[in-house]
Amino acid sequence: MSHLPQLILLDLDGTLYIGNQPIPGAIAALAQLRERGIALRFITNTTTKSQDELVAQLRVMGFQLHADELISAAVAATLELRNLQQQAARPLRIWPLVADAIKTDFTEFIWDEKKPDYIVLGDIGDRWDLHLINRLFNVMHSGAELIALHKGRFWQTSEGLKADIGFFVAGLEYVSSKTARIMGKPNRDFYRLVLDSTKVKAENALMVGDDIDSDVGGAQLIGIKGCLVKTGKFRQVYFEQSDIKPDYVIGSVAELLTAIA
């Protein structure tokens, strides 16, 4: 990059921290970026915590940020539902199958598990079972559309890699012959939403994350450069097999300024 980006988009879990532990050097690295006048946006597919909880979690770990600098997939879904409701010219009925922590994000809509217009699907942990899958299938077969807060394949935990909700989203798409609306990364509209919030053009932005598919690949789809960090879910074999070519590959976010300067 011949000049520093005006905007840097940062993934959270696996990029800035793992569990409740900041990646070594991450806090200082972000402070250096701010000193250079670079705008920051924290973007995440995490759907088990509300926006306020995520901001508080980052601050407790020592990161400095304003609440409006964090944009989550749940926020994007709320905006999308408002647009759909406006187009429908009537109140929308939704089934918010999401973590309890973010259910309050959807209280402006009518909740209906029997005949919803849209199922809003997020992370629900161990609540998945065959009975629930069949309920969802039948509701979709009767006309409901699916909004997925993201379609992640897997994620890094303190206990190792775990399959993500993309497993269930893809399965529901297959059995219903429908295509879900994906709200979080790598959705193009999600990245455009972030760019619009800053008035920065794609070519002047950089995405930094540990997921070569949704972080780097998703950003590159709309012209944002992508930087892959070798922390979190990064796996060398998966990286080598991918068709996606990051603009930068660094050991961790601590090396970011050195790499792009």
All structural domains of the chain with their residue ranges: 7-45+186-260, 73-182
In which residue are the tokens 């187009």 written?
87
Phi, psi of 204 (to 5 degrees): -105, 15
102: β partners: none
Q: 246 is written with which tokens?
A: 């990051």
Choose among 202, 211, 205, 258: nearest CA to 230: 211
Strand residue runs (E) in 77-224: 93-97, 110-111, 118-121, 145-148, 154-157, 160-163, 181-182, 205-209
Question: pLDDT by residue (tens digit) across 200-238?
Answer: 999 999 999 999 999 999 999 999 999 999 999 999 999
Q: Which long-range contacts (CB under 8 A, 24 or more apart) does 105-109 make?
A: 105/50, 105/51, 105/74, 105/75, 105/77, 105/78, 106/77, 106/78, 106/81, 108/78, 108/82, 109/81, 109/85
Q: What is the mean pLDDT of residues 29-57?
A: 93
- CA 261 to CA 259: how far, in whole Å? 6
Q: Per-residue pLDDT for 173 more than 60?
A: yes
- Domain 73-182 annotated CATH 3.40.50.1000: yes
Q: Per-residue pLDDT for 159 more than 90?
A: no
**How does residue 138 score in pLDDT terms, banded at 50, 70 and 90?**
very high
Could you give the percent of the chain with pLDDT greater than 90? Answer: 79
- Determine the length of the chain: 261
User: Pick the residue with more confidence: 79 or 34?
Assistant: 34
Fold observed for domain 7-45+186-260: Rossmann fold (3.40.50)
Helix (H, G, I), strand (E, B) or coil at 42: strand
Question: pLDDT by residue (tens digit) across 58-91?
Answer: 999 999 999 999 999 998 899 889 989 999 999 9
Give me the amino acid identity at 40: L
Q: What is the pLDDT of residue 1?
A: 43
Give me the amino acid identity at 221: L
pTM over 0.85: no
Choose among 178, 190, 73: nearest CA to 136: 178
Termini Cα distance of the chain: 8
| Identical fold between 7-45+186-260 and 73-182 | yes
Taking CA atoms, 11 is separated from 18, 70, 139, 160, 180, in Å, by 12, 10, 33, 18, 23
Q: Per-residue pLDDT for 45 more than 90?
A: no
